[in-house]
Amino acid sequence: MFKLAYRSIKISLIFITLSIFACTHKTNNDFIKISEHAQFKIISFNTSANNIEDGDLLEFKCLSLKSNTDTLIADSTKLNELFNDTITFNSSSKSDLLKVLAQLQEGDSCLALFYGNKQANVRISTLNSLSQKDTIYTYIKLKHIYKGEAKMAYQLEENAIARYITFSKNKWLASENGIYYRIIKSSEHPKLVANDVIKIVYKGYFLNNQVFDNYAEINPYFEHIVGTQNQLIRGMEIAIDYMSYGSEAEFIFPSSLAFGESGSATGIVAAYKPVLYKVKVLDKAIL
Domains defined along the chain, listed by start: 2-147 (3.10.50.40), 150-286 (3.10.50.40)
- Is residue 138 a contact partner of residue 96, using CB atoms and an 8 Å limit? no
Stretches where the chain sits below pLDDT 50 are 1-27, 68, 70-83, 119-128, 287
pLDDT of residue 25: 36
pLDDT of residue 117: 52
pTM of the model: 0.60
Burial class from Cβ neighbours inside 10 Å (0-12, 13-18, 19+) for residue 128 reads exposed
Question: 15's torsion region: left (phi>0), alpha (psi -120 to 50) or beta?
Answer: alpha
pLDDT of residue 21: 40
